[in-house]
Amino acid sequence: MDEIRVDIVPDDDNKVTIGRTTKRFAEVHSTAFTGNLTGNVTGDVTGAVTGDVTGSATRLPAVNLAAATQALTIAHSGQTFVGAVDAVFTLPLASVGAGVYYHFVTGVASAGTGLRITAVTPGEIFGAGVDTGAAGSITNSGATDVVGDCITLVSDGVDQWIGINARGTWA
């Protein structure tokens, strides 16, 4: 079947109806799309999506090759932080929002302190074999750390960070 190739020029109201139920377009390029979209999207999607998204997404969160010391914000949620030697990360208050999460990976084995994650008071980190109580700080110690040790911390939206998917020793 031949592909349909045509420039679509909108009317004065900046609208146009294209296609019909028996013919489909192979590619559609647009600066904005309103209505239902059925099919696969290849390429970047920039802007807000309003409505339901079904299927799978293939874009992974950003990887942050972090500085030795970094205070995280809600804007960092979803990122993976690869810690430098003796890196120190400070989490925001857990009340920033339920489901806010960060993934930490030991990027360099340390002979010193190791990778340390601290919750702003009040803040407790627990789960995945750790429970900091009010202290709110965990470390992948230089005495036992291995490159690739990792933990994901998820906010409960109140005052706790829950550790999941941990590998290595975090205390």
Confidence band of 152 (pLDDT split at 50, 70, 90): very high
On the question of pLDDT at 60 being above 60, the answer is: no
Model pLDDT, residue 103: 92
Model pLDDT, residue 68: 75
Mean pLDDT of 162-168: 87
3-state secondary structure the chain: CCCCCCCCCCCCCCCCCCCECCECCCCCCCCCCCCCCCCCCCCCCCCCCCCCCCCCCCCCCCEEECCCEEECCHHHCCCEEEECCCCEEEECCHHHCCCCEEEEEECCCCCCCEEEEEECCCCEEEECCEECHHHCEEEEECCCCCCCCEEEEEECCCCEEEEEEEECCCC
On the question of pLDDT at 59 being above 60, the answer is: no
b/e per residue 64-103 (b: at least 16 CB within 10 A): bebeeebebeeebbebbbbbbbbbbbbbbebbbeeebbbb
Phi-psi category of 19—alpha, beta or left, where left has phi over 0 and alpha has psi -120 to 50?
left
Q: Domain spans of the chain?
A: 63-167
Model pLDDT, residue 120: 83
Q: How much is the mean pLDDT over the chain?
A: 76
Model pLDDT, residue 45: 60
Q: pLDDT tens-digit profile of 97-148? A: 888 999 999 888 888 888 888 888 777 887 766 766 666 788 888 888 889 9
Assigned fold of 63-167:
Jelly Rolls (2.60.120)
On the question of pLDDT at 170 being above 70, the answer is: yes
Mean pLDDT of 85-96: 86
Q: Give dist(CA 39, CA 26) in Å, integer.
A: 10
